[in-house]
Chain A
Amino acid sequence: MWISNALIAVLRFLIGVTARWEGPPDLTRQRIYYANHTSHMDTLAIIAALPREARLNVKPVAAADYWGKNRFLRYISQQGLNAVLIERNPAPGQNVLEPIFDVVRAGHSIIIFPEGTRSNQALPAAFKSGIFRLAETFPDVDLVPIYLENLHRSMPKGKHVPLPIICTIRIGNPIPRMAGEDKAAFLERARDAIVRLST
């Protein structure tokens, strides 16, 4: 816990990380937070924006090729951020999402970045299908869109030091679930929910 508290303190000092909620959240329900992805600070910024009681049960999904790269990053991501590491380039026949399904089944809330990689734009790129499969498998879990504002300016892809620019975490209300919606329509609608929060 102290690792994440220390990291959150540094982040607050540098980039503020103010949370803006679209409506009062129902934190008793299991939630899948999904956000646009522009910097290595994104996961921590979302955790910092959540109320303390909501942080305990949240597991962010992180790429094993970065966050498991060395012992230091592995320690930070697993002990500090409580992350689930996934392989972005799995061996044939292996299901990338299996570790995520396991933690959702176990009742945890999760944080995912449906673009699958960082972008250097203010608005998210097209989503990969992972979030659709999660939504399909767990119809009773709330899907919560988050727009991360200014993080692409503070620490853009390729830069290693964050600039002190005030970043705001805009957390939306859960998006409505529609039975039988096809993949393309769902991914578009989920992405639009983030774009809407950006204005």
Chain B
Amino acid sequence: MTLDAKFLWFFAAIAGLLALASIIGWLLAKRATSESAVATVENLNQRVNAWWGMVIIFFISYQLGGNATVVLFSFISLFALREFITLTPTTLGDHNALFSAFFILIPLQYILIGTHWYSMFTLLIPVYAFLLLPAIAVLSQDTEAFLERTAKIQWGVMICIYCISHAPALLLLDLEGFKGQNALLLFYLVFVVQMSDVLQYVFGKLFGKHKVAPLVSPSKTVEGLLGGGLSATLIGGAMFWMTPFNFWQSLLMSAVIVVMGFLGGLVMSAIKRSLSAKDWGTMIKGHGGMLDRMDSICFAAPIFFHMTRYFFSV
């Protein structure tokens, strides 16, 4: 199959799935009578509509080329970090450090991806930002909770910029017999992560009984995790035709993506709770904030990136 053919099949399949989801949502909305059922179905339909929006944005960014995808993810990082910092109690003394994070680090990190400067892309945040952000903050001489403030900003920058940027960084990998098709790998990652989230939600709603970690995330159930996780892994395996992997490799990669995505959701949920919030924001109707949608990607993208690079690059 040519690149264009794979791409069209992929998006046609997603459009089909979403159309199916929209029809089911419409039928459920007609049948729902009790107040809680109406609320659940309304939230479901909001989610499906938001999915349409997100898929269309991805579709357009692909048509505009690799740089557009990099720019798209830089905005995702910006909105994610905005949500993270909004919930984090930073002070006046952090203003310059935060300014650097938002307006210097985000553009720089994505320019490094756009210009294929791999080594700097992996070092910029863990080395340079790690040392320079507290150095900038210390100049304002506010020592009150300095370690806590620094650590929180550090975490926000790692999760929202560094981790998320590993998704579009797939575009800079040089893979065996896969030249010019890396965008498909990015879609593969995003698709498996989101399928896993969606299927865990569906299985959880249909069969969920036993909670995995009720104190962290009341909505995650063992049934949802197993049913959703396994089916997402299988679907991911079956998508091997759009990757440089064979079926078994694809199955394993999907399993890693699903597990990391699940752990990401759990950890980010714990952080949200420790900042005493229920949702990260309100940007994406039905889903909450940008980080509510990206939490699994944050954890899955860097591991998927490095495993692919280690085992499959030229």
Residues of A participating in the B interface, judged by any CB pair closer than 8 Å: 16, 18, 120, 150, 153, 156, 159, 161, 163-166
Is A18 touching B282 in the complex (CB atoms < 8 A)?
yes
Q: List the A side residues contacting B81 at CB < 8 Å.
A: 164
Contact A164 B78, beta carbon cutoff 8 Å: yes
User: In the bound complex, do residue B86 and residue A156 qualify as a contact, i.e. CB atoms below 8 Å apart?
Assistant: no
Question: Which A residue's beta carbon lies closest to that of B78?
Answer: A164
**Chain A residues within an 8 Å CB radius of B282:** 18
**Complexed CA–CA distance, A120 and B95 (Å):** 13
Check if B82 sits within 8 Å of A156, measured CB to CB: no
Q: What are 13 residue pairs bridging A and B, where the CB atoms are less than 8 Å apart in the complex?
A: A16-B82, A120-B92, A150-B86, A153-B90, A156-B92, A161-B99, A163-B95, A163-B98, A163-B99, A164-B78, A164-B85, A165-B82, A166-B86
Rank and list the top 5 A-B pairs by shortest CB-CB distance, nearest first: A166-B86, A164-B82, A165-B86, A156-B92, A163-B98
Q: What total of chain B residues lie within 8 Å of the partner, measured CB to CB?
A: 15
Q: Say yes or no for B224: interface residue by CB 8 A criterion.
A: no
Q: Type the 1/0 row for B71-89, where 1 means its CB is closer than 8 Å to any CB of A.
A: 0000000100111011000
Q: Are B85 and A165 in contact (CB under 8 A)?
A: yes
Cβ of B114 under 8 Å from chain A: no
Contact residues of A: prevailing secondary structure: loop
B289 vs chain A, min Cβ distance (A): 9
Given known contacts A150-B86, A164-B82, what 20 new A-B pairs fall within 8 Å (CB)? A16-B82, A18-B282, A120-B92, A153-B90, A156-B95, A159-B95, A161-B99, A161-B103, A163-B98, A163-B99, A164-B78, A164-B81, A164-B85, A164-B102, A165-B82, A165-B85, A165-B86, A166-B82, A166-B83, A166-B281
